[in-house]
Structure 1
Amino acid sequence: MIRTFIAGAAAALFIASPATAQSAQERLDARYDRALAAGYKALMLCSAISIAERNGTTRTPESVHAMELTGIYPKLDPIIRDLQYEIVRRPSGQIAHVAVAWAEDMPHTVAVNYGVDTGCSVLPPGSPEDMSNPGAPMEGAVEKAVISNIGNDKAGGDLSRQLNGTVSPAFDGTYGEGTRTSAVLVVHEGAVVERYAEGYDAHTPQRTWSVAKSIAATLVGAAVMSGEHDVQDPVGINYWRSGGRSDMRNTITIDHGLRMATGRYSDTPGNRTDPLYWGGTTVDERATNWPIVHKPGTVYRYANNDTLMAVKGIEEWLIHYPPQEFFAKLGMDHTVAETDIRGNYVLSSQVWSTARDLANLGQLYLNDGVWNGERLLAEGWREYVSDPSGPQPEGTQWGYGAGWWTFRRPEGNAFEGIPDDAFAARGNRGQYVVVVPSRNVVIVRRGEDMVGTRFDIAAFTRDVLSVLNDK
């Protein structure tokens, strides 16, 4: 049965003003926004609830509406919560799909739960709902055990007392008015302190957003470690070639993709990839075909598509060694890397993980790529990803390495109290993993910050380090 979150609410209007006052383009754009909002809602409900249940905890549609579906992109925010939806489950109780109604003359937009280790994918508009085959069982355990090597609880008690005056303010808006912190976890010399907001716990997954880019860089490091790839390898798209000449895009390397320096055009700042994320298109359809406007390796342009090209460079390796295998080695059993409908990993954003799992990721880098005595990342990989040696972003104190942000730029470090070797994964809505090798510290902050609010991770990092320095 199709439901709407707001009781008794009718479907939102297709347009914001009378049709006679709108041009054909405005009507088309309004319809497009509704289509994207439907995909956004279907995927968020499907992923948040099904992956939480996979991890042995729960999320309700109401909690997803209150957190993931509030304070989002301005064009979609007024639309998304009123869209009617239906959650369809298999006989086992696992979610088969989520369907969202958005147009009277179009089928519902559907996000399908394809498996416990690959999460949900949005189908193209117009796809039939029964593509999820809801009557069939889905293999795989519903609950995974927590496996963590991030520290010990006894030592964590001392650390908790030391950091209480710093960690608690992370939840009350001290580090950003209006921010909504869901989890904070700090690891220091084997001790751990973690705190959660009401409704969240150690099993609760959240979308990593662009922290996934740092996870992508980590998987590239594993592929390099295998000996099957090198960062200077061409991505291998194999565009036009004729008479000894070639499309310059053929010179794009994995390194260029990781450093946001492929030289390709992107149509919006930050390279919004809504058709891929919410519209049911695929990586191949959306991310690979943009034209080149700069020589690769010469200009920085933050782009989801660049990370997806780096991943494209190791896609054959990922067929044989999927992300879930790597996560299992790290004890990241509550992490799911989702794909598009053709099985391409959307590792620019579409990963769901917990604070503990992300702390394990940070600890891997503290260990210089070694986990439980096994080298998982190529030797020197930490220095590679945290070296801002390529072209750099403008208008910010942050530098950029290879899939990770750095607290220093080539010209120096503007962040007082934060060591030069510190680097971070950063994602939309306040997702952060900070690694400080010289201080043996990992800091994870999860949130659902609304548009217009921002958690000051640099100030929080500085304050945590200051307390630990006084230890």
Structure 2
Amino acid sequence: MKQPTLAAAVAALAFASPAAAQSQQEQLDARYDRALAAGYKALFLCSAIANAEANGVTRSVESVERWELTGIQAPLDTIVPTLEYRVMRAQNGEGVLSYVEVDWADNMQPRLAWHKEEGGCSLGPIGMAVPPEREKLPRSYPDAIVNDHDRIITGKRAEVFDAAFDGSYGKGSRTTAVIVSGQSGDGMWRYAGDFGPATPQRTWSVAKSIAATLVGVAVQRGDADVTMAADLEVGPTDPRTDITIDHMLRMASGRYSDTPGNRTDALYFGGSTVAETAAHWPIVHAPATVYRYANNDTLMAVRSIDHVFASYAPADFFRQVRMGNTVAEMDWRGDYVLSSQVWSTAPDLMRFGQLYLNDGKLPDGTRILPEGWVKYVSTPSGPQPNGPLGYGAGFWLFNKSEGVPPDTFAAMGNRGQYVVIVPSRNVVIVRRGEDPVGSRFDIVSFTRDVLAALED
């Protein structure tokens, strides 16, 4: 029998190696996807249930599975329903939610998300066996709240509200809440069955607008300046020292991002930290020359002011503006994930919008945002996104939208979270949703129709 030559053997090995490597990579990716899916499930079960109960309302596991855990990104959508979980409570299962664990691999620890005494939940890194040492959780819940689901709405206003909930503004969209209100706080509202005025949902990227607002509050107190260098912890000869907080807020840092938005799955669902995830990206464009929407830019804008949080935390701001049912969650090492991981109710987001209607002043006239801040966040400056919307500093702009006042700007987030602010009409519109991937709620058309209905 003829023996293969060395050259032939080497050629055969070279031919086989890519296929073997690809198979190994596919297996590794599939394993990582299971770990991410388990982290997603653990964090959402923990946050949705614990944050609701902190507000005096109840979310069942079945409700979270029906809303937050369906219609999510592939391939997690097919993995999440298959994963076993345990919701662990204090006081022999009768007290407050303590942590959630989700199984994902036989030879690995379950993914772990735990409820923190200061509010919200944090997700541990893949492989963490037990939550870090925590202070004692409260022993009881606040008194239950009776949700006022609807305010009587008639005429064209009712038609617009009906359309928001029946999918007319986006096939397959799932609206959970709508509020329309003016500066006085009077208005109209409606909620889906599992939701009410005290039921929080994850804001997703509406948190970026909250982050920009926290920067503004720090500027008003004299603790920050948007023209100062962002805290990237690089040496003096690194060109990234030219990146300012303003560049970060306007998505114009010039840093590389591997996907639109940077996805940050490792942070959001994998249990990595803000410091590990957001700081290290290299520069590929001069700052202020290219628009690139990136979670990491918002995360670094927040890290640039995190030295003030010891004396003035996000929770202090929420209390000041009467957003008492809102919580900013942290990574497991204690940094705020203010690009996405805030849980808030529809009325709290209405109050957030009204702060901007009132030019950054509280109802008693106390100014907490700098004079001119509303114009700053709602004015395009430098590079702009392609498409029908503009971008300011942490807010989207409806300055190119036909039939909508050009001063309209909005906080917008994944799965249909919107806070639309129309200064010239003295109106705020809040729409919450759990829209599936591939289904988009047409917020511009909805805004136009709401404003027309208000004239009726």
In 2: Cα distance, 1:66 partner to 1:126 partner? 28
In 2: Cα distance, 1:145 partner to 1:230 partner? 42
Secondary structure of the residue aligned to 2:82 is coil
Tell me the residue number matched to 1:403: 394
In 2: Cα distance, 1:453 partner to 1:165 partner? 21
Decide whether the 8 Å contact of 1:216 with 1:307 is kept in 2: yes
Q: Percent identity?
A: 58
In 2: Cα distance, 1:130 partner to 1:435 partner? 40
Tell me the CA shift for residue 418 of structure 1: 0.5
Decide whether the 8 Å contact of 2:183 with 2:357 is kept in 1: no
Decide whether the 8 Å contact of 1:39 with 1:279 is kept in 2: yes
In 1: Cα distance, 2:69 partner to 2:26 partner? 24
Structure 1 segments of 4+ aligned residues over 4 angstroms from their partners: 19-22, 159-162
Give the TM-score normalised by structure 2. Answer: 0.91
Secondary structure of the residue aligned to 1:34 is helix
2:107 is the alignment partner of 1:105: yes
Tell me the CA shift for residue 221 of structure 1: 0.7
1:193-232 → structure 2 map (5 Å cutoff): 193-232=188-227
Code of the residue aligned with 2:427 in structure 1: it is V
Code of the residue aligned with 1:392 in structure 2: it is Q
Deviation by residue 1:390-446 (Cα, 9 ceiling, x = unmatched) = 21112x1100000000011xxxx2x22101100011100000000000000000000
How large is the Cα RMSD of the aligned pairs?
A: 2.0
Tell me the CA shift for residue 469 of structure 1: 2.8
Decide whether the 8 Å contact of 1:99 with 1:129 is kept in 2: no
Code of the residue aligned with 1:231 in structure 2: it is V
2:412 is the alignment partner of 1:426: yes
Decide whether the 8 Å contact of 2:183 with 2:354 is kept in 1: no
2:378 is the alignment partner of 1:386: yes
In 2: Cα distance, 1:258 partner to 1:424 partner? 14
Tell me the CA shift for residue 160 of structure 1: 5.6
2:161 is the alignment partner of 1:167: yes
Decide whether the 8 Å contact of 2:181 with 2:429 is kept in 1: yes
Deviation by residue 1:249-272 (Cα, 9 ceiling, x = unmatched) = 112111011000111001112210
Decide whether the 8 Å contact of 2:180 with 2:188 is kept in 1: yes
Tell me the CA shift for residue 461 of structure 1: 0.2
Segment drifting more, 231-240 vs 317-326: 231-240
1:52-451 → structure 2 map (5 Å cutoff): 52-91=52-91, 93-115=95-117, 117-129=118-130, 131=132, 137-139=136-138, 142-143=141-142, 163-188=157-182, 190=184, 191-241=186-236, 246-372=237-363, 373-394=365-386, 396-408=387-399, 413=400, 415-451=401-437
Secondary structure of the residue aligned to 2:240 is helix
CA pair 52-291 structure 1, distance change in 2 beyond 3 A: same
Tell me the CA shift for residue 162 of structure 1: 5.4
In 2: Cα distance, 1:238 partner to 1:338 partner? 23
Decide whether the 8 Å contact of 2:114 with 2:131 is kept in 1: no
Tell me the residue number matched to 1:9: none
In 2: Cα distance, 1:59 partner to 1:240 partner? 48
Higher gyration radius (CA): 2
CA pair 88-400 structure 1, distance change in 2 beyond 3 A: same
Segment drifting more, 187-196 vs 257-266: 187-196
Deviation by residue 1:347-381 (Cα, 9 ceiling, x = unmatched) = 00000000000000000000000012211111111
Tell me the CA shift for residue 236 of structure 1: 2.6
In 2: Cα distance, 1:299 partner to 1:271 partner? 15
Tell me the residue number matched to 2:148: none
Aligned residue pairs total: 430
Unaligned 5+ runs, structure 1: 1-18, 147-155
Secondary structure of the residue aligned to 1:81 is helix
In 1: Cα distance, 2:133 partner to 2:57 partner? 23
In 2: Cα distance, 1:405 partner to 1:143 partner? 36
In 1: Cα distance, 2:179 partner to 2:224 partner? 33
Secondary structure of the residue aligned to 1:320 is coil
Secondary structure of the residue aligned to 2:335 is coil
Code of the residue aligned with 2:113 in structure 1: it is A
